[in-house]
Amino acid sequence: MIPTATPAPVAESSLFAFGAHTLIQTRRLLMRWVRNPVSLLETLIVPCLLLVMLDTVIGGQIRRFTGSEALFGSVPLVAVVGALSGAVAGGILLGRERDAGLLARFWVLPVHRGSGIASRILAEGCRILAGTVAIVAVGYLLGFRFQRGLLPSLAFFGVPVLFGLAFATLVTAVAVFTAKSTLVEGITIVTSLMMFFSTGFVPLAAYPQWIQPVVRNQPLSAAVDTMRALAEGGALARPLTLTVAWSLGAIVVFSVPAAIGYRRASRC
């Protein structure tokens, strides 16, 4: 009988293990989100219904006020808000996994230590992209059209992914450091205020003059204006610069606390 060679085990800290374990955990997260009614509502159903409601209630008034299609503002707005809402739902699920001891179980298994948080970033990007595609599809049914060509249209989908990942970093930092999901859910109040006081909800000129500088420069307005310029045309440099600055700033500020908190939560 000829002995067969046994393949050498792959070290859990190797680059290969990091890639393989990240993909496995990303699939686990995506499957859990798909099967979770709250995540499905926050990611797909509620944003699409919100888009239909905005176009029905205030779409005609904005068209008469500005002379342009209101969907160029409402579709980007709903796409970004959907990314933020889904991040909050993901933060709540993360807190539940920590409380249930699931993160601690992964910590004692031969799993690459960095794959846990890396898989959440990858899964979050997939979730945001899928939600944006669904919202744009509903927008197309309502009359939304890209007018700048292929490359700006593809860049349009990248804006909510970047902005959503930055916000998800903030939510993760909050979720792993607090035992109360109400604090994570309280972030929804802030995102609601950002939505109602943004250039995607109504044109900037419709707001009182004293608050226009705040509305124009807040993160949500910058992302919406960037997506509007990519879809319809117009000034792109300023809103794109603000969007990148806000997003990278949030990632830089909250990534270290999120990583430290995730490690601490996994070892509890």
CA separation, residue 238 to residues 75, 235, 243 (Å): 20, 7, 9
**204-226 CB burial, b ≥16 within 10 A, e <16:** eeebeeeeeeebbebbbbbbbbb
Would you kindly state where each structural domain of the chain is located, as residue ranges? 16-267
Ordered DSSP codes for 14-77: SHHHHHHHHHHHHHHHHHHHHH-HHHHIIIIIHHHHHHHHHHHHTHHHHHHHHSS-THHHHHHH
What mean pLDDT do residues 205-216 have? 91
What is the Cα–Cα distance from 262 to 255, expressed in whole angstroms? Answer: 10
pLDDT for position 9: 56
With cut-offs at 50, 70 and 90, classify the pLDDT of residue 183. Answer: low
**Number of neighbouring beta carbons within 10 Å of residue 235:** 11
Instruction: Identify the three-state secondary structure at position 105.
Output: helix
Tokens found for residue 37: 């009614």
With cut-offs at 50, 70 and 90, classify the pLDDT of residue 206. Answer: confident
Question: 232-266: per-residue pLDDT in tens?
Answer: 988 899 999 999 999 999 999 998 888 888 888 77
Alpha helices for 197-236 (secondary structure H): 212-217, 219-231
Low-confidence winner among 36-45, 164-173, 212-221 (lowest mean pLDDT): 36-45
Cβ atoms of residues 255 and 234 within 8 Å: no
CA 253 to chain centre: 17
* Mean per-residue pLDDT over the chain, rounded: 85
- Asked if the model's pLDDT at residue 109 lies above 60, the reply is yes
Highest mean pLDDT among 64-78, 87-101, 156-170: 156-170
Tokens found for residue 12: 């859990």
- Asked if the model's pLDDT at residue 149 lies above 80, the reply is yes
pLDDT for position 58: 84
